[in-house]
A and B are shown apart, each in its own frame.
Chain A
Amino acid sequence: MEKLVIAGREFTSRLFLGTGKFNSNELMAQAIKASGTEMVTVAMKRIELDDKDDDMLRHVAGPDIQLLPNTSGVRNAEEAVFAAQMAREAFGTNWLKLEIHPDPRYLLPDSTETLKATEQLVKMGFVVLPYCQADPTLCKHLEEAGAATVMPLGAPIGTNKGLQTRDFLRIIIEQANVPVVVDAGIGAPSHAAEAMEMGASACLVNTAIAVAGDPVAMARAFRQAVEAGRMAYEAGLGLQADSFVAEASSPLTAFLNE
């Protein structure tokens, strides 16, 4: 399979993992390992002075893992720039999952602020991977602003509803000159496989793995789905017929009757 390259870094795995909602750090670490991922998101929180020992980072970090700090919690571009600076300082990476979703009900990204923040952060030397609406025009603007990827949503965060934006994702993938990572809404390995078959460069999955009955087995299932979907894309899928009229795949000579 073709390797994925983002900002000059090669990735063998096309599955990115979020670290939220796992029952324990140990389980999260096992799921990360089982998924084969090389890119893992991490959020930020204020240190509690009476609980300084809680350290999720050591369960995530590894030589093969690119940390992808996110800006979750910010409401506009200005706050995102501040969060990005804090993340770069804390985690020693200039990679950033830019997410600006001021609305707590649907957690939908604010396109205006996301574009504004992308422009500023790219100038500041960040490798920006913006979580964004599945809006082909916006994705072009983000690309022009210097985003390293675009990360359009399949459905709202944590809903597991799959590729509700499927047709727009197709347009985005067709037009993009940067990798397209489908983020949010992927709830089952079949959703991830579908995104990859469509030509997405990668999938970012969190909830579907973290809340599964067996997160480690689910991580493995997603790994296989992403690989299968990518392999199918590279192999070239057969055309889908417009009607239900069958096309025989066996010879129709009536050999029994003659």
Chain B
Amino acid sequence: MKIKVNNKEVETAASSIAALVDELALPAQGVAVAVDNRMVPRAGWADFALAEGMSLVIIKAACGG
């Protein structure tokens, strides 16, 4: 199915956020995920089912003052 990650279209077989994080080989620490502008706590990643057309924001640390 197709979802959006940071406004970029991504084809994925992942059925949950946890599976997607795995598929994208993201670091386990230092990232946060929001779906349709709501933050999803790490503890809920495995149970959060992804669906066609969902829009995810995934952030990480950047340099800044």
Chain A residues with a Cβ under 8 A of chain B? 18-22, 25, 28, 41-49, 52, 55-57, 60, 70, 72, 82, 85-87, 89-92, 157, 204, 206-207
Contact = CB atoms under 8 A, between A and B. Distances in A.
B64 A70 contact: yes
Interface of B: 5-6, 8, 10, 24-27, 29-34, 37, 39, 41-42, 57-65
Contacts, number: 98
A98 to B, nearest CB: 14
A207 B6 CA distance: 29
Contacts of A85: 32, 39
A206 B65 contact: yes
Contacts of B25: 52
B65 A47 contact: no
Given A46-B57, A46-B59, A52-B25, A91 B64 contact: no
B41 A45 contact: no
Given A41-B65, A86-B57, 10 more contacts: A19-B64, A21-B65, A43-B65, A44-B61, A46-B6, A49-B24, A56-B62, A70-B65, A92-B29, A207-B65
